[in-house]
């Protein structure tokens, strides 16, 4: 039988005391809702499976944010490093995953090369006049013969106000021509599906949130069966794997 400390300690898999909070006008809320949460889990779980299939000896996650992705990877990957320009995000990453190395630093400050470099929903945040230099810095961090895994939102979605652009595979390849990368595969994740979006709004909206485990299981199974894999005509996210040429 678990002792009382163990029962309490297991609850700290998430900092639940931060769920109740005050919004800007002083109104108290007891929960937080991420409307695109299932979409995020959908492409993130795909990328995790792809990385574990590649089984790299080392991985650099550029623009790691709060570290969720690296924390989902199997511990068999010997070296995991996440970098981001946000000190606040890195603080969360270190708190959630103390076994992984995170640094608040620019990509150009990293000198080591890695078997795999991941750039998950990051390129759309890079200004046009900085993009070529950023891609060349990415290339410099990938070992000869190593891999670059990129995830970007597609033009199926309207451009988010915080993004500079959304992508087609042609645009992504065009931008990476400045570096010695060869496209190995490209997959589209999460179909633009009106019926599924209506279901999500019924479960999560400004008035209520339904957290029935049965309903959530149904939504996830429906997503995996009909929504997850998509085409270039209806996929919201593009995940592309590149290989760096031998020097």
HEC profile of 100-164: CEEEECCHHHCCCCEEEEEEECCHHHCCHHHHHHHHHHHHHCEEEEEEEEEEEEECCCCCCCCCC
The burial of 201, by beta-carbon neighbours within 10 Å (0-12 exposed, 13-18 middle, 19 or more buried), is given as: exposed
Q: Do residues 187 and 150 lie in contact, with contact meaning Cβ atoms separated by under 8 Å? A: no
Highest mean pLDDT among 6-10, 102-106, 201-205: 102-106
Q: What are phi and psi of 142, to 5 degrees?
A: -100, 130
Query: Which residues is 61 bridged to in the sheet?
Result: 82, 118
For residues 177 and 242, give the distance between their C-alpha atoms in angstroms, rounded to a whole number: 11
Instruction: Using the predicted structure, report yes or no on whether residue 182 has a pLDDT greater than 90.
Output: yes
pLDDT band, very low/low/confident/very high, at 73 (cuts 50, 70, 90): very high
pLDDT of residue 44: 96
The answer on pLDDT for 56 being more than 90 is: yes
In contact, 191 and 226? CB cutoff 8 Å: yes
Query: Going from the N-terminus, what domains does the chain have, and what CATH number goes with each?
Result: 35-192+229-244 (3.40.50.150)
pLDDT for 191: 92
What is the pLDDT at residue 86? Answer: 96
201: pLDDT confidence band, cut at 50, 70 and 90?
confident
pLDDT value at 123 more than 70: yes
pLDDT of amino acid 247: 62
- pLDDT of residue 1 exceeding 70, the answer is no
The overall average pLDDT reported for the chain is 92
Query: CA-to-CA distance for 48 and 70, rounded, in angstroms?
Result: 9
Provide the token pair at 14.
């998430």
Percent of the chain at pLDDT > 70 equals 99
**Tokens, residue 139:** 């290339």
pLDDT at 3: 82
Residue 108 in this model has a pLDDT that exceeds 80: yes
119 pLDDT tier (thresholds 50, 70, 90): very high
Q: What is the CA radius of gyration of the chain?
A: 19
DSSP state of 61: E
Length of the chain counted residue by residue: 247
| pLDDT for res 35 | 82
- How many C-alpha atoms does 126 have within 13 Å on its Cβ side? 23
User: Is 11 a residue whose pLDDT tops 90?
Assistant: no
Q: 189 vs 12, which has greater pLDDT? A: 189
What DSSP element (H or E) covers 246? none
Residue 80 CA to residue 111 CA, distance in Å, equals: 15
Residue 142 in this model has a pLDDT that exceeds 90: yes
The C-alpha atoms of residue 191 and residue 236 are separated, in whole angstroms, by 6
Whole-number pLDDT of residue 192: 85
């Amino acid at each position: 039988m678990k002792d009382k400390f163990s029962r309490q300690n297991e609850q700290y898999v998430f900092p639940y005391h931060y769920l109740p909070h005050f919004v800007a006008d002083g109104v108290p809320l007891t929960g937080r809702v991420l409307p695109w949460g299932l979409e995020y889990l959908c492409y993130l779980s795909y990328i995790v499976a792809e990385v574990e299939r590649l089984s790299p000896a080392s991985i650099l996650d550029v623009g790691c944010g709060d570290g969720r992705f690296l924390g989902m990877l199997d511990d068999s990957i010997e070296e995991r490093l996440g970098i981001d320009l946000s000190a606040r995000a890195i603080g969360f990453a270190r708190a959630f995953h103390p076994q992984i190395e995170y640094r608040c630093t620019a990509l150009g400050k990293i000198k080591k090369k890695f078997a795999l470099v991941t750039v998950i929903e990051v390129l759309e945040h890079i200004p046009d006049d900085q993009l070529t230099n950023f891609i060349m810095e990415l290339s410099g961090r990938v070992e000869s013969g190593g891999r670059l895994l990129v995830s970007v939102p597609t033009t199926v979605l309207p451009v988010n106000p915080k993004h500079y652009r959304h992508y087609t595979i042609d645009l992504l390849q065009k931008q990476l021509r400045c570096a010695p990368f060869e496209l190995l595969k490209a997959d589209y994740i999460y179909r633009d599906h009106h019926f599924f979006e209506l279901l999500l709004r019924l479960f999560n909206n400004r008035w209520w949130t339904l957290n029935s485990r049965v309903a959530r299981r149904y939504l996830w199974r429906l997503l995996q069966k009909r929504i997850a894999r998509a085409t270039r005509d209806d996929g919201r996210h593009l995940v592309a794997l590149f290989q760096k040429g031998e020097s």
